[in-house]
Amino acid sequence: MAIELVEAGRGDRGVVIALLDEYLQELAVRREIAVGATDAHTYRYLDGYFSESGRHAFLIRCNAEVVGLAFIRDPASTGGAASQVAEFFVKPGSRRRGCGRDAIASV
């Protein structure tokens, strides 16, 4: 199994939006009360991952197939000394195969 973490560019925005929608919808159904964004269009930080230094959107690929995403904030964005994982998602069909574990290790 080959895992890649590839920084998403503007051309990948549609793929990122689809993954973010799936992720946020999954979170929403697991909560009794909606907290925060419930879809990509209401996720207020999305544009920042394509325009601000310190914010990075990554696609997670397993054997060249896109299986998830990771949003990372580095110290330029957090104001701290360390990077933060803001969002992390692996599609349900790709879970329990080590994709997420290997991807987060790459971060």
Please give the sequence-ordered ranges of beta strands (E in DSSP) within 1-107, or none if there are none.
3-7, 55-62, 65-73, 84-90
- The residue-averaged pLDDT of 69-78 equals 89
**Residues in Cβ contact with 32 at an 8 Å cutoff, skipping those fewer than 6 apart:** none
pLDDT at 33 over 70: no
pLDDT at 34 over 70: no
Please give the model's pTM, rounded to 2 decimal places.
0.89
Mean pLDDT of the chain: 89
CATH numbers and ranges of domains, the chain: 3-106 (3.40.630.30)
pLDDT score of 38 = 77
DSSP classification of residue 72: E
User: How far are the Cα atoms of 48, 76, 87, 102 from residue 19, in angstroms, in the given order?
Assistant: 17, 25, 11, 19
Spatial contact of 78 and 46, defined as CB atoms under 8 Å apart: no
